[in-house]
Amino acid sequence: MFVVKRSAHNPILTPIKEHSFENFSTFNGCPIEVGKEIFLLYRAQSLPETFENNRLSLSVVGKATSRDGIHFDNRKKFISPTEVWERYGLEDPRVTKIDNKFFIFYTALSTFPFTGDGIKVGLAISNDLKTISEKHLITPFNAKAMSLFPQKIKGKYVAILAVNTDKPPAKIAIAEFSKIEDIWDEKYWNKWYKELDKNVLQIPKSDSDQVEVGAPPIKTKDGWLLVYSHINNYFSHDKIFGVQALLLDSNNPKKIIGKTSGPFLIPEESYEKYGQAPNIVFPSGALIKEDKLRIYYGATDTTSATAELPLDSLLLSMNSKTREGFKRLTPGPLLIPRPGVNWEAKAVFNPAAILSGGKVHILYRAMSKDNTSVVGYAQSQNGTDIIWRSEDPIYIPRESFEEKLVSGGNSGCEDPRLTKIGDVIYMCYTAFNGVAPPAVAITSILERDFLKKNWNWKRPVLVTRDGVDDKDGCLHPEKVNGKYFLYHRVDHNICADFGETTEFRERNNFRNILILSPRKGMWDSQKVGLSIPPIKTPKGWILFYHGIANDGVYRVGAALLHLKDPTNVLARTTDFLFEPVLSYEKSGQVGNVVFPCGAVVKGDTIFMYYGAADSVVDVASISLSKLLKSLTE
């Protein structure tokens, strides 16, 4: 449970037109701390120039210094081509200090136009990061992105590198050396390459993906943390660059003991989307600063940027047994269909919830065998045990926009969500007649009637645009600038709009103010929709939402909205908080679905009520304070 936060100063390194060696791009920087200073070695690229009758942008290694790791100055050219095996440029340095020397590995280019056979690993060694004392060609084969571990492991020097990067599929592998000179021993590498499969890290990926070493490994209490680049759909025009992480065993770095569930950084900001190579974030270095992991990355092969996330939370998320998020509270479903009750004989799911009169009131979508959805009611004192359940539905289809028009097809009142404003409880739900696109409807009831179970709901009205597929609606719990505020789903996005009244007569002129969009390559990459009406905290409104990825699995995440302006998203969980795990969440009418529509807060605990596989209802909880901390750290 963590949030990745980019530096407000991004990009931290941009080209300087007066510096001929870096007037085109400055990216893929690798930091190292020396005393109170942080040195950043980075790829500096010139504007295209003529070299040996070739027109190219020459890459060298630049160097900058900083006190805080964010603001860098004293930018200089540090390593330039001096050997025939690097004559066409040096790219993407990675620096490690060991044996009181700085080992700087980089990509060495010996041919132009660039080909795999001319792309290898080079090494520069420095005693003081002021001058280079020696250089060596490392790999006799195609490779990139090499780095030393910053200490010996079982008495050996250990390196990690990406092999066959330009002759895919690429592989990330481990190399071990008895003495430092073995690192540039061609005989060692020829033997090692013949046994490559013995040295490869078994990183989960599909055959269409590409992986590459990112930052030099970092020692943590749980093992070696490796931040790396994972590129989905590498062989297509729809590549998705993402930053992921592995946890390697402290004594055996060939053994993976943990991993992130997917990318935790993808191109989202303008400087990550637009540049000489669009839509790229590429990790090239990392530091631990206090309790945070600070990642340095290249953006669009143009600039350098940085982002931070809580280290402990990241490490917890890499183990399925310690992953933070919602915890299930019951040994089985909270509510299941009652076969003898016709109106809910097929399924009960997607429940709303509200705390009133000291009790938890659960309004759930109930489906009959002819696929008509109505709203049922259950009550709990403690939030996890049902003490009363209605024999009849408390809300049924009444209007033409929700009454069944096609025999046997789905229709009715779906997925209720409840909001209390003053002494009135408002219920938004998806209205569907089987012919017109689904739309959001709203009705209301006085709280005193609700508590007495006098179900005299106000006549419903549609509150979203005619002819548009729109679902996942709910009313914000407070007026915003004197107006009502409605969340709803348009296309695959969570949007919102203002209304003078709760009937939203402006609905056919909605602006569709964007709140959240899918994040390409992540667990919510395909579409997002609102789950639970926002929960107010002193630091903002917590908004739970569901997201769907390419695998079709529904998962749950959260965002934090500004207290006075809920159109302003302050933070968003990077990792999901909840996913289908149990058999009744993975199999049902629609498999692999957890779909919450309601929650109540009791003390520091959020009780989330959700539909599982469109078939049953269950409940899970999370600490409000811990979630809020992760959203505001």
Per-residue model confidence as pLDDT tens digits over 103-135: 999 999 999 998 999 999 999 999 999 999 999
pLDDT tens track for 377-394 = 999 999 999 999 999 999
Task: Give the HSE-up count for residue 399: Cα atoms under 13 Å, Cβ half-sphere.
Answer: 17
Tell me the residue type at 176. Answer: E
Average pLDDT, the chain: 96
160: left (phi over 0), alpha (psi -120 to 50) or beta: beta
pLDDT of amino acid 487: 98
164 contacts: CB under 8 Å, gap ≥ 6: 116, 141, 142, 143, 170, 171
Average pLDDT over residues 352-370: 97
- Confidence grade of residue 205 (pLDDT, cut at 50, 70, 90): confident
More confident residue, 205 or 77: 77
Question: pLDDT tens digit string along 59-77?
Answer: 999 999 999 999 999 999 9
The CA distances from residue 282 to 163, 229, 439, in Å, are 17, 6, 41
Give residue 259's pLDDT: 96
Query: What is the rounded average pLDDT of the residues 321-331?
Result: 93
Looking at domain 327-632, which CATH architecture does it have? 5 Propeller (2.115)
Mean pLDDT of the 539-553 span: 96
Q: Rounded to an integer, what distance in angstroms lies between the CA atom of residue 539 and that of residue 535?
A: 11
Q: What is the pLDDT of residue 70?
A: 97
Distance of CA 482 to the CA centre of its chain: 34
Contact assessment for residue 260 and residue 206, using Cβ atoms and an 8 Å cutoff: no
Q: What is the pLDDT of residue 87?
A: 95
First-residue to last-residue Cα distance in the chain = 12
pLDDT of residue 431: 98
In this prediction, residue 620 carries a pLDDT of 98
- Check whether 53 has a pLDDT greater than 90: no
Query: Is residue 133 exposed (0-12), middle (13-18) or buried (19+ Cβ within 10 Å)?
Result: exposed
Q: pLDDT-based confidence at 320, cuts 50/70/90? A: confident
SS3 (DSSP) at 344: helix
pLDDT score, position 417: 98
Average pLDDT over residues 580-588: 97
pLDDT of 633 above 90 = no
> Residue 113: is it exposed, middle or buried by C-beta count within 10 angstroms (0-12/13-18/19+)?
exposed
How far apart, in Å, are the Cα atoms of 201 and each of 139, 155, 303, 380, 418?
18, 21, 30, 50, 49
Q: Supply the pLDDT for residue 235.
A: 87
Ranges for all domains in the chain classified under CATH 2.115.10.20 = 5-317, 327-632
Residues in the chain: 633
Tokens 């993407």 correspond to 92
pLDDT recorded at residue 44:
98
Given a cut of 90, is residue 305 above it in pLDDT? yes
State how far the Cα of 621 lies from the Cα of 514, in Å rounded to an integer.
28
pLDDT at 245: 97
pLDDT for 379 equals: 98
Percentage above 90 pLDDT, the chain = 94
Q: For residues 544 and 598, what is the distance between their CA atoms, to the nearest angstrom?
A: 9
Least confident of 54-58, 347-351, 409-413, 526-530: 54-58
State the amino acid at position 306 in one-letter form. T
Model confidence band, residue 169 (pLDDT cutoffs 50, 70, 90): confident
- Cα 625 to chain centroid distance, Å, stands at 21
Chain-centroid distance, C-alpha 425: 34
Does the pLDDT at position 206 exceed 90? no
The answer to whether residue 55 scores a pLDDT higher than 90 is no
Residue 474 pairs in a beta bridge with 487
Alpha carbon distance 137, 461 (integer Å): 73
Residue 167 has pLDDT above 90, yes or no: no
Is pLDDT of 484 > 90? Answer: yes
What whole-number percentage of the chain has pLDDT above 70? 100
Contacts of 174 (CB under 8 A, 6+ apart): 158, 159, 160, 199, 201, 253, 254
How far apart, in whole angstroms, are the C-alpha atoms of residue 220 and residue 29? 22
Q: What is the largest CA-CA distance in the chain?
A: 88
d(CA 263, CA 440): 33
Residue owning tokens 């789950």 = 531
Question: Would the pLDDT of 481 be above 90?
Answer: yes
Q: What is the pLDDT of residue 264?
A: 96
Angle in degrees, CA 594, 600, 603, rounded to 5: 125
pLDDT at 258 over 90: yes
Q: What is the pLDDT of residue 557?
A: 98
pTM (2 decimals)? 0.93
Residue 545 CA to its chain's centroid (Å): 13
Average pLDDT over residues 257-268: 96
Cα separation, 201 vs 44, whole angstroms: 30
Q: Minimum mean pLDDT among 401-410, 436-445, 448-457: which range?
A: 401-410
Residues in Cβ contact with 446 at an 8 Å cutoff, skipping those fewer than 6 apart: 423, 424, 425
The sign of the dihedral angle between the CA atoms of 461, 466, 469, 470 is negative
Top CATH class, 5-317? mainly beta
User: Cα–Cα distance between 588 and 544 in angstroms, integer?
Assistant: 23
Q: What is the pLDDT averaged over residues 181-186?
A: 98
Report d(CA 475, CA 461) in Å as an integer.
14
**DSSP for 290-337?**
TTEEEEEEEETTTEEEEEEEEHHHHHHHTSTTT--S-EE-SSS-SB--
Q: Lowest mean pLDDT of 87-96, 203-212, 541-550, name the range.
A: 203-212
Which residue in this structure is represented by tokens 């990183």?
Answer: 203
pLDDT digits (tens, 9 = 90+) for 11-24: 999 999 999 999 99
